[in-house]
Amino acid sequence: MSFDFLVVGAGVAGMRAAISLAEQGTVLVVAKDSIEESSTEYAQGGIAVALSDDDNFSLHLQDTLLAGDGLCFEPAVEALVQEGPARIEELLKWGANFDKENGQFLMAREGAHSRSRVLHAGGDSTGHEIARALFETATSLPNLSFQSFAAVTDLLMNDGQVTGAVAYDQKTRRRVDVYAKSVLLATGGAGQLYLNTTNPTVATADGIGIAYRVGAEVADVEFVQFHPTALFIPGRPRFLLSEALRGEGAILRNVHGDRFMQRYHPMEDLAPRDVVSRSIIAEMRATGATHVLLDLSHKDADWIRHRFPTIYETCLRFGIDLTKQAAPVHPAAHYIMGGVRTDLHGQTSVPGLFAAGEAACAGVHGANRLASNSLLEGVVFGARAGEAMIGSKEKSKAGRTFGDEQFPILTREQLQQLAWDGCGIVRDAAGISNVLQAIDKGGRENISEPNRKDYERRNLATVLRLVAKAAFERKESRGGHYRTDFPNKQEPPLHSSVRRGHGTKLISWPVSTSATS
């Protein structure tokens, strides 16, 4: 089958790009699961944007740069904060409903923000509301088609350019070639690399793995953000307890009921996420506990139920009433700051291949993402990528599948345990080396009829190796990457860069473009 444009992923970045593309040609949006299943759906906290009277672009810029710990690409951050308000207006026009009080938007404050600038919807269902508005807009466009339960496994190449992709149809168990002038990877994150994660099961680093195999540059994947507060119920998925809880006054306590964040950072409970996650790990070790406590019980009960309805109801199902008791929490993998390196318009180092959202790395987040900047990145850079793809040149349909038909023998659970132990919140050379050695010793095998889980496992193994290699090369601690054997920062700040056949190195990014270009 053939379309003008192929969008892989139906989250906020992919859907926003598809809306622009549908004005100029035929578009196919491919989703690995249902169209509704993406990380966007699970984004609780909100979307950060400088809209209030006491806020401005420069303040949002500075907060983002500070959280990014020296590695943000400033032109990308400028694009994010300056174009954010226009993208919010767009969402409003398309029917998104953000929470208001007395006709004014409610703006929450979250960790590491100097102002209250986080819009939310339904209290704690912001991602769902944005996804709904984008999906309803997209489905009204005649040029736009959707294909669910189809996992893109590889790219089609011709003379060094991407000419389409190969999709595995789970219903027919067949692989289908899809040709397009350009392909956008908006596949979301890599949380399923880790044993403990807030991410949905579809977040298996697919875009990064697929792009790496065709020679695209991958950057900064060692920087993984671990959310400090995932609900800790043994044997249950790690449900995210939004940072907005602490923004609204929730307090972290150890198992003895004592506050502890004042011992670790001057911003206490509102410190950057990497600091809070490491502080929780340190407190757990000091007390010999499996978790700490997040306490909101001092707030008004009706307010809690209204402000955080989904979180409140979910905790209640596990026997925890947030109006009366603290919730047990433990850090979990949440967001990967790195990804397929792109310019400010989503173009990767491979012609015809674009990336946006969490799968991409334009340098917005640096070494540590500022809370609630991810949804904003999705709409801003999804729009930018869509506009850039419109100018893609027509390409020949002739192509070859650029994939690797060998699959790792290690199971998903084994890979996740390796990642958690060796490339988790706290790292060192021995742990990282163990990850690389275990993947090598694990071996690979041919599978005559691979299924979706096999393809996901291949991507997880590929990207875990990239994370480990970059983490080993980065002999410093910065942002979401913390090494006990190299606890200090090295100057100047450098980005990790890895391409197939070229090894892993640390480089600087020349500032050769502007946010408005």
pLDDT tens for each residue of 330-376 = 999 999 999 999 999 999 999 999 999 999 999 999 999 998 999 99
DSSP characters over 254-283: -TTS-B-GGGT-TTGGGS-HHHHHHHHHHH
One-letter identity of residue 34: S
Left if phi > 0, otherwise alpha if psi is -120 to 50, otherwise beta: which for 372? Answer: left
d(CA 368, CA 390): 32
Contact predicate 341/306, CB 8 Å: no
Selected residue with higher pLDDT from 128 and 517: 128
DSSP characters over 293-312: EEE-TTS-HHHHHHHSHHHH
pTM of the model: 0.92
The distance of Cα 75 from the centroid of its chain, to the nearest Å, equals: 20
pLDDT, residue 274, reads: 82
Q: Label residue 166 by pLDDT band (50, 70, 90).
A: very high
- Candidates 429, 462, 112, 412; CA nearest to 268 is 112
Residues identified as active-site: 273
* Residue 371 CB-density burial (10 A; 0-12 exposed, 13-18 middle, 19+ buried): buried
One-letter identity of residue 413: E
At how many degrees (to 10) do helices 412-422 and 452-473 cross? Answer: 20
pLDDT mean over 275-298: 95
Question: pLDDT per residue over 138-155, tens digit each?
Answer: 999 999 999 999 999 999
Q: Is 358 helix (H, G, I), strand (E, B) or coil?
A: helix
- pLDDT of 387 > 90? The answer is yes
Token readout for 57 is: 């672009």
Q: Do domains 5-190+337-400 and 230-330 have the same CATH topology?
A: no
d(CA 308, CA 310): 6
- Candidates 327, 359, 329, 326; CA nearest to 342 is 359
Task: Write out the E strands in 268-411.
Answer: 292-295, 327-336, 339-341, 353-355, 360-361, 400-402, 406-408
pLDDT, residue 517, reads: 47
Domain boundaries of the chain, sorted by first residue:
5-190+337-400, 230-330
pLDDT mean over 315-336: 96
Selected residue with higher pLDDT from 80 and 238: 80
The distance of Cα 361 from the centroid of its chain, to the nearest Å, equals: 10
User: What's the start-to-end Cα distance of the chain, in Å?
Assistant: 34
pLDDT, residue 289, reads: 97
Q: Label residue 394 by pLDDT band (50, 70, 90).
A: low
Token readout for 45 is: 């906290």
Q: Which fold has domain 230-330?
A: Flavocytochrome C3; Chain A, domain 1 (3.90.700)
Residues 6+ apart with CB under 8 A from 471: 222, 423, 427, 432, 481, 483
Q: Label residue 479 by pLDDT band (50, 70, 90).
A: very high
Strand partners, 259: 253
- Candidates 493, 188, 204; CA nearest to 368 is 493
d(CA 42, CA 243): 13
DSSP characters over 159-193: TTEEEEEEEEETTTTEEEEEE-SEEEE-----GGG
Question: pLDDT per residue over 60-97, tens digit each?
Answer: 999 999 999 999 999 999 999 999 999 999 999 999 99
d(CA 366, CA 202): 24
Share of the chain above pLDDT 90, in %: 83
Token readout for 367 is: 């070494």
Task: Share the mean pLDDT of the chain.
Answer: 93
pLDDT, residue 482, reads: 96
d(CA 312, CA 241): 10
Residues 6+ apart with CB under 8 A from 103: none
Out of 3.30.1370.100, 2.40.50.140, 3.50.50.60, 3.90.550.10, the CATH code matching 5-190+337-400 is 3.50.50.60
Q: Label residue 515 by pLDDT band (50, 70, 90).
A: very low
